[in-house]
Amino acid sequence: MLHAFAPRPTIPWLEDLFAAKAVERGSGVRRSVRDVEREVGRDFFVAEVRRRGFHLVECGGQFIVICN
């Protein structure tokens, strides 16, 4: 069981996504829903996007993360 003070796990795939230059510029990134579900799972991904204060749209089999 994770406690509120426990460090969150680092997931290289997710860290690489949010380290993209588009994220730094406040633009957006997109990933296929299938890739997200395979790599980290939909629920974890949605929670991480919200934790960072970004917005998420799903359209045509793609997740679009708006990073501003």
Q: pLDDT tens digits for 7-43?
A: 666 789 999 999 999 999 999 999 999 999 999 999 9
User: 41: domain range?
Assistant: 12-66
- Cβ within 8 Å of residue 46, ≥6 positions away: 56
Residue 3: the pLDDT is 58
pTM of the model: 0.83
b/e per residue, 4-41, with b = 16+ CB within 10 A? eeeeeeeeeebeebeeeeebeeeebbebeeeebeeebe
Query: Considering its fold, how many domains does the chain have in total?
Result: 1
4 has a pLDDT exceeding 90 = no
Q: How far apart are CA 68 and CA 64, in angstroms?
A: 12
Residue 10: the pLDDT is 78
Residue 6 is classified by DSSP as S
3 domain residue, yes or no:
no
Higher pLDDT, 59 or 2: 59
17 domain residue, yes or no:
yes
